[in-house]
A = this chain, B = another copy of it.
Amino acid sequence: MTDLTAHMLELGRRARAAAQGLRDAPAAARTRALDLLAEKLKAAEAPILAANAKDVEAARANGMTEAMIDRLALSPARIAGMAEAVATIAAVADPLGVETERWTPANGLDIARVRTPIGVLGVIYESRPNVTADAAALCIRSGNAAILRCGSDCLQSSLAIAALVAEALAEAGLPADAVQLVDTPDRDAVGLMLAGLDGAIDLLIPRGGKSLVARVQADAKTAVLSHLEGLNHTYLHEAADLDVARAVAVNAKMRRVSVCGATETLLVDRAGAQRLLPAVAADLIAAGCELRGDDEARALVSEMKPADDADWTTEYLAPILSVRVVDDLDAAADHIARYGSGHTEAIITTDAGAAERFASKVDSAIVLINASTQFADGGEFGFGGEIGISTARLHARGPVGAEQLTTYKYVVRGQGQIRP
């Protein structure tokens, strides 16, 4: 066994042991740890910035692009934002021990379904130091122990933040090992985490770009919570309000083009295309968006380039939108079922019946009626933050906050019942 293997297995054993203490502690202790962490982040601005400066300097020396360095670099405002995010998660109701259902079947037993943590989470992310604080906070709130593996480029910043997490845990009377950061840049550590650290990891969460997620999905020997693509659709129903269609379509595509909730394809009912599409397209073009349409769409908007089959399956994550005219709601739903990634879809309509039919027929994790797909976000859902968005059909779907990081158990109260 290599030194690295032994070291990582030891992290796993410590996480497993700490998980029980974190789970059994009262909600107030987890809240206290989060409040302390928010305070400590603010108070430690200088040492965090100093550690971050080392990461940035090394990254520059290694030729990192300025766009990547912008993700990596911290500032007083960004550290304040990190503290604010932790405080928001501290204010979310503790999900543990909550009864989600309770009933009594014919045998007279009193059966309750109660939330309990998943156990030990392995979080693998890139060079964004704020994820260290965010992921730690969501794990503490949900009672899950965590092994965090950051991109090697942000190791110094993350070590500074992780030290504060350990202090906050210990001062709140919780096991300091409940959140551990992998303290080596050795890339083999990721492979060991994917193998599950001898059963110590219950769930892996990759947070980052497509290549990271694809690798984790392909190689993980344990369960993975993730989505690969947000190939999202906004559908303008023939009864769409024009002002709503214009405002929502532009926001859904252009608010931030690089997020997983961005719309990638606009579908328009043939019966409404002449009324809706020219104005919506003009707004998108004015906002700097390139449009690629089918023949019918292009007949209505001369600036549109032709779309080919690859456009229906491309998550641009860029100011480009594919546009297709469809027969009706069923055709829109069929297009989404065929080309979508099951992440987030929206319908714009004033017809309440059509809206509900779309919501029922389209089986993505999130279906929006008359609102922007960019609301696909745990913060916007009121979860206080999110560790990601899941397109899996098992366990959590959609934005994953603290509550979605839990499972449940049954507590059954009897008076001596035996089974006949």
Residues of A near any B CB (own CB < 8 A): 20, 23-24, 97, 103, 105-107, 109, 111, 116, 118-119, 202-203, 223, 241, 243-244, 247-248, 250-252, 255, 337, 355, 359-361, 363-372, 374-375, 377, 380-382, 393-395, 397-398, 407-419
- CB < 8 Å neighbour of A419 from B97, B251, B395: B251
The answer for the CA separation of A103 and B241 in the assembled complex, in Å, is 25
Residues of B within 8 A of A360 (CB): 24, 97
The answer for the CA separation of A97 and B203 in the assembled complex, in Å, is 28
Closest to A377 in B: B419
The answer for the CA separation of A416 and B244 in the assembled complex, in Å, is 5
A398 near B411: Cβ-Cβ < 8 Å: no
Residues of B within 8 A of A359 (CB): 411
Closest to A414 in B: B371
The answer for the CA separation of A243 and B416 in the assembled complex, in Å, is 9
Taking the nearest CB of chain B, how far is it from the CB of A211, in angstroms?
21
Closest to A111 in B: B381
User: Given contacts A202-B393, A380-B107, are A248 and B369 in contact (CB under 8 A)?
Assistant: no
The answer for the CA separation of A382 and B370 in the assembled complex, in Å, is 39
- CB < 8 Å neighbour of A410 from B109, B367, B394: B367
- CB < 8 Å neighbour of A417 from B111, B366, B372, B394: B372
- CB < 8 Å neighbour of A416 from B248, B381, B412: B248
